Structure 1
Amino acid sequence: MSTPGVHIVVYPYPTAGHIIPILDLTQRLLTRGLTVTVLVTTNNLPLLDPYISSHPSSLNHLVLPAPDIAPPQQNRFLANMRALRDLHYPILLQWFQSHSSPPVAILSDFFLGWTHHLACELGVPRLVFSPSGAFGMSVAFSMCRDPPKNDDPENIDFLVSLPRIPSSPVYPWWQVPQQYRVGVEGDPDWEFYKKNMLANTASWGLVFNSFTELERVYFDHLKREVGHDRVWAVGPVLPPDDGDLEQPANRGGAISVPCHEVMSWLESRPVNSVVYVCFGSHAVLNSKQMDVVAAALEVSGVQFIMCVGEPAGQQQHASDDHGVIPGGFEDRVDGRGLVIKGWAPQVAILRHRAVGAFLTHCGWNSVLEGIAAGVVMLTWPMGAEQFTNSRLLVEQLGVGIPVGGGRQNIPESTELARLLGISVGGGRPERVRAKELSDAALTAGRGGSSHQALDEIAKLLADYRK
């Protein structure tokens, strides 16, 4: 369907892992005839380039100043959330009110809950975009409404139960995201975070980069939680799998190795024989974790591609322990291992028939990319909602093999090597289930539940404008 003339604002949280999926969603809205203005800070402007070139007349952007967070900050994440609101709210209010054809709705990231209040002041609907899944959002809402408490603060294995959520998940204290462990009633940062997240439940609609068949029970739960049915699963929002490597390769930034070189390396490998190893754009392995991963890859004998992230500037501290690839490792695995330092063409790699397994930190973008590609997932969550995502993959979807957890549960290299070995090839029940979910993801986007949800959103926005 097409809805020409409907103008909306898209406001990502300004980090790559949040910007990329909301831009992929924007692409789908543009194909339905909407006009979109993306709000972006200068340093993230290059991420827009491939989308602008595809939709030069209907995709606009407004450059906003980036907040200046002076170190040291006890919690830079919360400080950044507050600074974005303080800096951008008055700018956006004035921009909307002076615009000759103001947008009819705001679609903004779930870390920008304060835009609900901006939308109310402007008299337009606000749609929440969640780059995380419905299970992860269910946990976040529960922990904001009823913050977890540790009756034995010295015990990091103290169990926290969430009985209101389907499957009643129980977490050891060390797996509870940091903001809930350190949050204190009355603390301004914690109170801001809590109100910011709960504003999402009061917003007009929620849009998830997920698909109904993946998390149906949690979508039903969230509809009960917010009291309406304007909760949509529109994912996976990924570049089309049409054989064109250019779009997935350029998605998210400049890659450090040309995509065609990586694809050529994979072409000579048998089907499902390669393990792809990547812990995301933010998680940087410490020395022990890196040594275990490298040793396991070396002794396992498996073919692999390993993406090694560089610590971002804001994450570097003198006390941080950043692991480095052991000396001589690349020479010792030459011929069966490819090491990529920096950004990798992850979607293109996972889609290649030679890749059979994915050792991942379980960030939601990686989870969806792995599911869409139909690979077995070796799960090693590091923080945030990643422990919840790992549970979904292992316990509920049956496509994951747990290998570790953060810094508290680092596997022995021999055990990790064994798991790497059994994850590739045929015969694993996880591989059968992965193929089923991959087919379901494809169907959802090609005329199925996610396609229909996007049509419904576009129609409702057009009707709202009238």
Structure 2
Amino acid sequence: MHLPACRAMDSLPRTRAASYGDGTGKQKPHVLVVPYPAQGHLLPLLDLVVLLAGRGLALTVAVTPGNVRLLAALPPSVATVVLPFPSGPFLPAGCGENTKDLPADLFRPFMASLVALSAPLLAWCKAQPRPVTSIVSDLFMGWTRPLADELGVTHVAFSPTSVHYLAFTRSLWRRMPTGHDEDGDERVVSFPELPGSPNIPWRRLSWLFRMHVVGDEVSETIRQILLWSLESSCFVVNSFAALEGGCFTDALAANRVFMVGPLSEAADVRGGEEEPAEVCAWLDAFGDGSVVYISFGSQEALSPAQAACVAEALRLSPTAAFVWVARSGTVVPEGFEAATASRGRVIRRWAPQLDILRHRAVGWTLTHCGSNSVMESIAAGVGMLTWPMAADQFTNAWLLAETGVAVPVAEGADTVPDVGKVATAISTAVASKEGESTSRRVVELGRKAAAAVAVGGTSYNDLEELVCALSDVHVASSCSVE
């Protein structure tokens, strides 16, 4: 597949300059970072940028104008190249530049359209007085790999989720199993090449894969994007060894895998738009581990029936206090907030999730199992009640259950679970020996996460090796260190 020419770009890329010297007259290696503009992808990669900048690398982050404000927390040493958002046949004029601003039916065309950024980005790279020496890009921006090949530099693919998901994804897009048979969504897909030969129901596979149509331009573009990334010799993953074990890393033996997470714990730079002190002061009134935090991420809005289920389950769980982040579009039943005001709080804007999870009163979270939420919950030692809905969330929920730090409650974006089951799960979590046992396990896993990113830990050491690889063109070409 050939990269398409850029269509109707508004202007040439704009650059925020940064110094690429190290104070001794020498020029630093120059790493170009290309994030995917979705909160769950972009935020952990920016955390990685902060860590790399702190270790002396010169970095430039490539974004479109609508995403520039999301880079505000980056150090001033990090440069920015602003690429005009592409127009083309897949997207309507004036659509958003981040998936949080798009309806779900535009996610796939959006991903395919971003390939058109390759031409202006390549032109920018060739015009730089300090050549780009390596490219780190999100898994969904795999079109940067042939760009790296043309420049003769190394390419590293960043995955915001687990090694497990990476292994499953590579197998799927290489083999392309189909689900169009008499069993429909009940069909089971086997993965004989992976440890334990797992079998996964078709309905739990990523919607990105399940919606693939052979011969369709958007579908085939997405497949090529992912294959480019999945064939990279190096992966950087927002996970850590104590969570994953070694078997799935061994399944990717042909590739160097740097597990550098939890990145939120290592970088520790994010904040919310709401003053953390306001929420934390409210949480101070509750006992240790007695509060359930409810959030389904920036992309998932609960249907009225699902929101009513969550509200009723909380009403039926009087021993649990709660903080519920209700994304725009989620309709909280009338009268619910007044009826639960003594022990509950509903937040309808961006919440300081890290601060909430780290508060001593929060012991559990009802979560969609998005990768960032999973890593942040583990790092905070918070148990999880899981309701995966899409993408990598099913794999994350399975991995958490296997590790013993989560309790399955429901699954599926359209599912309306049994109210009694959800209420029982919440009550059991905060007020039973079974809940205490799970809490102890996740607290211990949280300690291991902290140890992983501390000096000498597994993630710290992988990050140091990554820095060495990105600092040495010869070494980086094979992504190994002496």
Common fold by TM > 0.5: yes
Q: Do residues 272 (structure 1) and 286 (structure 2) align?
A: no
CA contact (8 A) 1:113 1:199 kept: yes
Task: Tell me the residue number matched to 1:318.
Answer: none
Counterparts of 1:56-455 in structure 2, within 5 Å, are 56=76, 58-68=77-87, 69-70=91-92, 75-86=105-116, 88-150=117-179, 152-153=181-182, 155-224=184-253, 227-228=254-255, 230-238=256-264, 247-250=269-272, 255=273, 257-301=274-318, 302-311=320-329, 323-394=330-401, 396-407=402-413, 409-425=415-431, 427=433, 428-447=436-455, 448-455=457-464
The Cα of 1:4 is off from its aligned counterpart by: 7.2
Task: Tell me the residue number matched to 2:28.
Answer: 5
Task: Tell me the residue number matched to 2:12.
Answer: none
With over 3 angstroms needed to count, the CA separation of the structure-2 counterparts of 1:156 and 1:307, relative to structure 1, is same
CA contact (8 A) 1:275 1:305 kept: yes
Range that drifts further, 324-333 or 164-173: 164-173
Q: Do residues 464 (structure 1) and 457 (structure 2) align?
A: no
Task: Identify unmatched segments of 5+ residues in structure 2.
Answer: 1-21, 96-102, 476-482
The Cα of 1:161 is off from its aligned counterpart by: 2.0
CA contact (8 A) 2:48 2:267 kept: no
| CA distance in 1 between partners of 2:267 and 2:443 (Å) | 15
With over 3 angstroms needed to count, the CA separation of the structure-2 counterparts of 1:159 and 1:111, relative to structure 1, is same
For 2:323, give the aligned amino acid: I
The Cα of 1:464 is off from its aligned counterpart by: 1.2
For 1:306, give the aligned amino acid: W
CA offsets 1:387-439 (integer angstroms, 9 cap, x no match): 11100011x21101000011454321122111101112563321121011101
| CA distance in 1 between partners of 2:307 and 2:52 (Å) | 41
With over 3 angstroms needed to count, the CA separation of the structure-2 counterparts of 1:171 and 1:304, relative to structure 1, is same
Task: Tell me the residue number matched to 1:314.
Answer: none
With over 3 angstroms needed to count, the CA separation of the structure-2 counterparts of 1:363 and 1:128, relative to structure 1, is same
Query: How does the TM-score come out when normalised to structure 1?
Result: 0.89
| CA distance in 2 between partners of 1:146 and 1:186 (Å) | 16
CA contact (8 A) 2:195 2:248 kept: no
Number of residues of Structure 1 aligned to a counterpart in Structure 2 = 436
| CA distance in 1 between partners of 2:206 and 2:464 (Å) | 35
Q: Do residues 33 (structure 1) and 41 (structure 2) align?
A: no
| CA distance in 2 between partners of 1:407 and 1:50 (Å) | 32
Query: How does the TM-score come out when normalised to structure 2?
Result: 0.86
Task: Identify unmatched segments of 5+ residues in structure 1.
Answer: 312-322
CA contact (8 A) 1:4 1:34 kept: no
Task: Tell me the residue number matched to 2:44.
Answer: 21
CA offsets 1:187-206 (integer angstroms, 9 cap, x no match): 22222222211112322311
CA offsets 1:211-252 (integer angstroms, 9 cap, x no match): 12211335423432xx14x2100111115698xxxx4324xx
Task: Tell me the residue number matched to 2:11.
Answer: none
Secondary structure of 1:248's counterpart equals coil
Range that drifts further, 73-82 or 181-190: 73-82
CA-based RMSD = 2.2
| CA distance in 2 between partners of 1:324 and 1:180 (Å) | 30
CA offsets 1:119-157 (integer angstroms, 9 cap, x no match): 000101011011111111111111101122225356322
| CA distance in 2 between partners of 1:114 and 1:130 (Å) | 15
Identity %: 39
| CA distance in 1 between partners of 2:322 and 2:165 (Å) | 30
| CA distance in 1 between partners of 2:266 and 2:231 (Å) | 33
CA contact (8 A) 1:157 1:172 kept: yes
| CA distance in 2 between partners of 1:425 and 1:43 (Å) | 45
The Cα of 1:98 is off from its aligned counterpart by: 0.9
CA contact (8 A) 1:24 1:239 kept: no
CA contact (8 A) 2:237 2:261 kept: yes
With over 3 angstroms needed to count, the CA separation of the structure-2 counterparts of 1:426 and 1:238, relative to structure 1, is farther
Q: Report runs of 4+ in structure 1 exceeding 6 Å deviation.
A: 71-74
| CA distance in 2 between partners of 1:100 and 1:364 (Å) | 37
| CA distance in 1 between partners of 2:36 and 2:431 (Å) | 39
With over 3 angstroms needed to count, the CA separation of the structure-2 counterparts of 1:61 and 1:175, relative to structure 1, is same
CA contact (8 A) 1:148 1:180 kept: no
